[in-house]
Structure 1
C-alpha cells in the first residue's frame, strides 16, 4: 500500500512539472509578441525630432496592439496577422521617418523580430 501511494505521489508531481513547462512555454511565446520598447532609446538611435517622436510613439502603440491581438489566434491566422501588422507598421513609419532613419528602424525591427523567433 505504501509503494502504491508513493508511486501515485511521484506520478502526480511529474505531471505537475510537465504541465508547468507547457505553461512557461506558452507565456514565453506570448511575451515574444509584446513589442514594448524604450521610446527614449529608439528616439536617440533614430535622432528623432519632437514631432517625429510623438508620431513614432503613436504608430508603435498601434503596432504593439496589433501584435498582442495576433497572439489570440491559431498559428496560421497568427502568422498572417503578424505579417500584416509588420507591413502596416513599416508603411506608417515610412511617412514619418526620412530615408536614413527608416534604414536604421528597419534594421532594429528586423533584429527584434529575429531575436524573438517571429521570423519564419
Structure 2
C-alpha cells in the first residue's frame, strides 16, 4: 500500500520532473514546481506519510525495522529536496527526520559512497 502511494505521488509530480528533464526555462520549471510538485507532494505524499510515521512511532513506515518501502519513500523525498528545493520537507518534520535517518543508514551510505566512487 505504501509503495503504491509512493508511485501515485511520483506520477502526480511527473509534469514537474518532465519540465526539469527537458531543461525548460527556469520560469517554467519554477511554475511546475510551485503549482504542481509542491501541492501534489503535500497532498498525495507528505501529509499521508507524516501521519503514518507519527502513528507507527518507530521512525519507520512499517514495524520497527527498515524495509524496502522505507527506501522507496526516502528516495522520493530525496528527489523533492535535491532536484526541487531544500525546503520541500520543512512542513513535515517527521518525514524530514525519516529521510535523513534512512540515508544515514551505514549500509546505504557505504553503497552510495561506493557507487559515487566509480569513474567513467
User: TM-score under structure 1 normalisation?
Assistant: 0.37
TM-score after normalising by structure 2: 0.37
More helix by share: 1
Q: Which has the larger radius of gyration?
A: 1
Q: Return the structure number with greater relative CO, CA threshold 8 A, min gap 6.
A: 1
